[in-house]
Structure 1
Amino acid sequence: MSISDEDQAAIAALAHRLADAARAEILPRFRQASLITDNKLAQGFDPVTEADRAAERAMRALIEAERPMDGILGEEYGAREGSSGLTWVLDPIDGTRGFISGTPTWGVLIALSDEAGPRFGIIDQPYIGERFEGGFGRARTTGPLGERSLQTRRGARLGDATLFTTFPEIGTPQDRSAFERVSARAKLTRYGMDCYAYALLAAGQIDLVIEAGLNPYDIQAPIAVIEAAGGVVTTWQGGPAHGGGQIIAAATKALHDEALDLLAPI
């Protein structure tokens, strides 16, 4: 759908205010012994904290006050239908396991999407003070090193690539086998960065992120940021990735195609 220049500017400004509001709720709770953590699963471990819930409530309140016609899809409080054709897709803390462990690799994910996928996105790391944004002609990061443009790394082939995924036991056994085919060809494989790996890809630090079992709120903001920086994000079948599932993000189309050939049998 068409979004006017004026509306694009308003959306981007609101997205930054959402990220600021989430930071204000999350940072006072980070690395605090008093943090309340619950488990979403009867078997296994999928943590959620009071910081996740408070941050999403703060973001939803701003959207409802300023753009009540837009829909909202959030990890903690689900979907609210809108009438504008636009939906805010929120993950208040992507990487809650890292958050409760005290690592600075979690992040706040904010995307504004239509039926075709994300149009604008932010990956925010409050503790480091880094923010990555992409869409509406923007591809930039701000943080301790100042403001910089985002550009994915050019020219790397799989044998020279740095590959990330969050969990070594990625997805199903079949997913794991497919991932290992790519990992065996890559120069370096690293684990455990959650959404921060996608930010590093957009910033030109790494070359590939491959994951499985993602939800829309896990991937829509990274799609917007990476595509704005010149990268490619699809499913393992090469289709649109905004619905989640098996995801490959690559710095270039050539690298994407090279890795996809090894994943495609899945």
Structure 2
Amino acid sequence: MTGDLQTFADFAGELADRAGDFIRPLFRQPIEIVSKADESPVTEADRGAERVMRGLIGERFPDHGIVGEEFGAENPDAKWVWHLDPIDGTKSFITGSAQFVTLIGLTRYGKPVVGVINQPVNGERWLGVSGRPTVFNGRAVTTRACADLGAAALYTWGAECLEGENGPALRRLTESVGLRRFSADGYAYGLLAMGFVDIVVDDDLKPHDYLALAPVVEGAGGRISDWDGRAIEFGVGARTLACGDAAIHARALELLRG
């Protein structure tokens, strides 16, 4: 499988390149914004970038499955399945902020083995491959030590999450850290892998949101799980906790559980 993973990791880079080529010319340009059924925004940048990636996968690996944010699932029970979020952080994209990323994850029998977090405007790319060190633009990166929850820097998806169903749990955790920030989406997990952030916590994620993240975080020395402490895999990760230092992961889980 080692040879396969290298082939697939290289191909994931190609997908990120081609998606980025589609997205960049549309950034900070007039573009139609449509509301989806769940009232989240979508643009032709989202849809077009996913079409590009789907086309490449179909040409190169026609027996692989694809699950994408914009166009659903094809062959989702395959051994190898690509999970695509062409623009994670569409609200950032449409407001001219470069805190959005393309997420590309590959699972083998539902378990994440390759993950890419790609910021196409700034030229930033994190690549995680199961069993290997995470690299950022070709160089290895690691999380930082932070055993004191009170000194930790935390990101979560938005201030409004503190008022939702999981609000009490998230408030317990966010009020226990030294610094909290909002609205970085998948970009925050890349910052954690580089040692700039200590905790990222999210809820209400879909597989295309979280499967690319696990290889990146784990390959940098971090710990990522769902709120029950289970390893991330397809169907497990809607509520995600990532910590750069495993020493604070257990305490953070305790706070989330109440």
TM-score greater than 0.5 by the shorter chain = yes
1:71 aligns with 2:65: yes
Q: Which amino acid aligns with 1:81?
A: N
Following TM superposition, the consecutive aligned residue runs of length 4 or more in structure 1 with deviations greater than 3 angstroms are: 171-174
Q: Normalising by structure 1, what TM-score?
A: 0.92
1:37 aligns with 2:28: no
Q: Deviations over 1:78-111 (max 9, x none)?
A: 1111675010010000000110001010000001
User: Which segment is superposed worse, 151-160 or 194-203?
Assistant: 151-160
Distance 1:51 1:102 in 2: 13
1:69–1:83 contact (8 Å) kept in structure 2: no
Q: CA RMSD in A?
A: 1.5
Name the % identity: 40
1:215 aligns with 2:209: no
Match of 2:98?
Answer: 104
Structure 2 regions of 5+ residues with no counterpart? none
CA-CA distance at 1:133 after TM superposition: 0.5
1:56 aligns with 2:65: no
Q: Normalising by structure 2, what TM-score?
A: 0.94
Question: What SS class does the counterpart of residue 203 from structure 2 fall into?
Answer: strand
Distance 1:139 1:247 in 2: 19
Q: Which amino acid aligns with 2:36?
A: K
Distance 1:148 1:156 in 2: 25
1:70–1:88 contact (8 Å) kept in structure 2: yes
Structure 1 regions of 5+ residues with no counterpart? none
Q: 1:181 to 1:168 in 2, by over 3 A?
A: same
1:171–1:213 contact (8 Å) kept in structure 2: no
Q: Deviations over 1:169-214 (max 9, x none)?
A: 2176341111111111100000011111011001111100111100
1:69–1:82 contact (8 Å) kept in structure 2: no
Count of residue correspondences: 255
User: Which segment is superposed worse, 172-181 or 161-170?
Assistant: 172-181
Match of 1:177?
Answer: 168
Question: Which of 237, 258, 264 lines up with 2:251 in the alignment?
Answer: 258
